[in-house]
């Protein structure tokens, strides 16, 4: 029996196509899933720590440009528990291997507010803090309480509170300094009970979408439904067209540079960040530069959202990477802005 289970979880030379939303057909030497910390620990003892390994969640923020010569560990730790309830708020703990939207869906069914604007983001709960996922004016850091992470080197569980995660725009300590050193096993969020939650409908098209439906006093679910409708209208479904959401980050620039750009390109979108910096929209820059809808073979730039690179079927990761290089060079040439990738490249 033990041998049998072993075979189910520990595979050799595996195609990664089902495990990355880009649908890239690279392979890895070995892949295994773990659904508890004990299992993770056991599996880690089986592999040679000197060979490369990678911890994968939903595979929604990676681009494999070549075969991965090492072991891939897939987090399958599930479960949701309300760990604390106060008059107006709850602290909810979710397993790192849960599908992110399934967790969002659960919070909405329970009428807890805070992550409805983050509906339908592909990926897992454990991957969400890695890059401080965000959409429609809300980021994970706004509702984050703490997380438990397994330290690969020592086998110990360490708890990270908000400051120790060092969240920034699509950034955290796990993406940089502690990259590949920890496996996020549980994440806790502080959510508001309905009636005590202020909905954030000002960003993007949420208000327009609610008006279109004739909704004047939206509920948490109404906002989630609006976000789902907007996302579905703009962003390709990875089940149909391979992609990993925004491929690039929106550039944050000094205001002096923004002013110069505005004089040359009066329509450039500008969002204030702090006193001295503003963000502009990479999707706008890429569209203005003529790349929106570009297609060559099976790779290209999405037709409705220029920030999303796509795999129409058989594209290789290298082709998509090379396209991103061409886009970066072209944007640098036209606007003098160096785009940075949001997606992790392997
Ligand atoms: N725009 C264009 N052309 C395009 C795309 C966008 O002109 O092809 C313009 C829009 O008209 C708008 C501005 O760019 O003026 C911003 O566009 P949008 O609201 O669609 O959002 P985004 O900046 O392109 C960011 C996040 C998304 C998130 C949305 C909504 C990043 C890198 N991306 O995209 O996150 O869903 O805002 O909040 O910050 C992701 O990270 O994978 C992701 C999808």
Q: Whose CA is nearest to atom 1 of ligand 1?
A: 284
* C-alpha of residue 234 to centroid of ligand 1, in Å: 9
Q: Whose CA is nearest to atom 27 of ligand 1?
A: 135
Q: Kindly list the structural domains of the chain, giving each domain's residue range(s) and its CATH number in brackets, ordered by start.
A: 10-75 (3.30.43.10), 80-234 (3.30.465.10), 242-345 (3.90.78.10)
> What is the per-residue pLDDT for 47?
83
pLDDT at 6 (0 to 100): 43
**Mean of all residue pLDDT scores within the chain:** 94
Taking alpha carbons only, the member of 245, 302, 229, 232 closest to residue 122 is 245
Q: Inform me whether the pLDDT recorded for 7 exceeds 50.
A: no
Residue 6, token pair as written in the block? 């072993």
The proportion of the chain whose per-residue pLDDT surpasses 90, expressed as a percent, equals 88
Length of the chain: 346
Instruction: Check pLDDT > 70 for residue 198.
Output: yes
Inform me whether the pLDDT recorded for 280 exceeds 80: yes
Return the percentage of the chain with pLDDT > 70, whole number. 97
Q: Is 238 helix (H, G, I), strand (E, B) or coil?
A: coil
DSSP letter string, 115-135: SGGGTT--SBTTTTTTTT-EE
Give catalytic residue positions: 170, 246, 342
Closest ligand 1 atom to the C-alpha of 305?
A: 8
Q: Please tell me the predicted confidence (pLDDT) of residue 2.
A: 41
Q: Residue whose CA is closest, atom 5 of ligand 1?
A: 283
Whole-number Å distance, alpha carbon 14 to ligand 1 midpoint, is 34
> Quick one: 274 exposed, middle or buried, by C-beta within 10 A (0-12, 13-18, 19+)?
exposed
Main-chain dihedrals φ then ψ at residue 62, nearest 5 degrees: -125, 150
CA distances to 130, 159, 168, 237, 280 from 134, in Å: 11, 22, 11, 18, 16
Residues 34 and 73: their CA atoms lie apart, in Å, by 7
Q: 44-53, 149-158, 159-168: which has the minimum mean pLDDT?
A: 44-53
Per-residue pLDDT for 1 more than 60?
A: no
The pLDDT, as a whole number, for residue 8 is 43
DSSP 274: S
β-strands 299-301, 309-311: how paired?
antiparallel
pLDDT digits (tens, 9 = 90+) for 205-228: 999 999 999 999 999 999 999 999
Please give the average per-residue pLDDT across 118-138, as a whole number.
96
Is the predicted pLDDT of residue 243 greater than 60, yes or no? yes
Residue 282 — pLDDT band, cuts 50, 70, 90?
A: very high
pLDDT at residue 298, as a whole number: 98
Q: pLDDT, tens digit, for every residue of 292-323?
A: 999 999 999 999 999 999 999 999 999 999 99
Number of alpha helices (DSSP H) and beta strands (DSSP E) in the chain: 9, 21
Banded pLDDT at 11 (limits 50, 70, 90): low
Distances (CA, A) of 178 to 8, 58, 166: 30, 20, 11
- Cβ neighbours for 104, distance < 8 A, ≥ 6 positions apart: 115, 116, 118, 119, 120, 121, 224
pLDDT confidence of residue 5:
43
């Amino acid at each position: 029996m033990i041998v049998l289970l072993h075979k189910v979880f520990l595979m050799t030379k595996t195609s990664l196509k089902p495990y990355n939303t880009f649908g890239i057909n690279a392979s890895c030497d070995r892949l295994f899933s773990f659904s508890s910390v004990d299992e993770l620990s056991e599996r880690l003892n089986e592999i040679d720590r000197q060979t490369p390994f990678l911890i994968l969640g939903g595979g929604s923020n990676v681009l494999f440009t070549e075969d991965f010569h090492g072991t891939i560990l897939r987090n399958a730790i599930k479960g949701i528990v309300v760990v604390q309830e106060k008059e107006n708020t709850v602290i909810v703990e979710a397993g790192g291997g849960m599908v992110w939207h399934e967790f969002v869906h659960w919070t909405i069914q329970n009428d807890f507010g805070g992550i409805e604007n983050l509906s339908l983001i592909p990926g897992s709960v454990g991957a969400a803090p890695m890059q401080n996922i965000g959409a429609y004016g809300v980021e994970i850091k706004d509702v984050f309480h703490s997380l438990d992470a397994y330290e690969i080197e020592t086998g110990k569980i360490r708890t990270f509170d908000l400051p120790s995660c060092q969240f920034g725009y699509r950034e955290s300590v796990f993406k940089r300094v502690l990259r590949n050193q920890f496996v996020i096993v549980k994440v806790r969020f502080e959510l508001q009970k309905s009636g005590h939650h202020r909905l954030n409908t000002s960003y993007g098209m949420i208000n327009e979408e609610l008006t279109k439906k004739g909704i004047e006093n939206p509920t948490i679910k109404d906002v989630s439904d609006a976000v789902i409708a907007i996302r579905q209208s703009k962003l390709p479904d990875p089940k149909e067209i391979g992609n990993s959401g925004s491929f690039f980050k929106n550039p944050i620039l000094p205001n002096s540079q923004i002013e110069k750009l505005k004089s040359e390109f009066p329509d450039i979108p500008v969002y204030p960040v702090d006193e001295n910096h503003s963000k502009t929209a990479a999707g706008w820059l890429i569209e203005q530069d003529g790349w929106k809808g570009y297609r060559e073979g099976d790779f290209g730039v999405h037709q409705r959202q220029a920030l999303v690179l796509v795999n129409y079927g058989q594209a290789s990761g290298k082709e998509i990477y090379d396209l991103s290089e061409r886009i970066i060079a072209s944007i640098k040439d036209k606007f003098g802005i160096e785009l940075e990738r949001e997606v992790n490249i392997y």
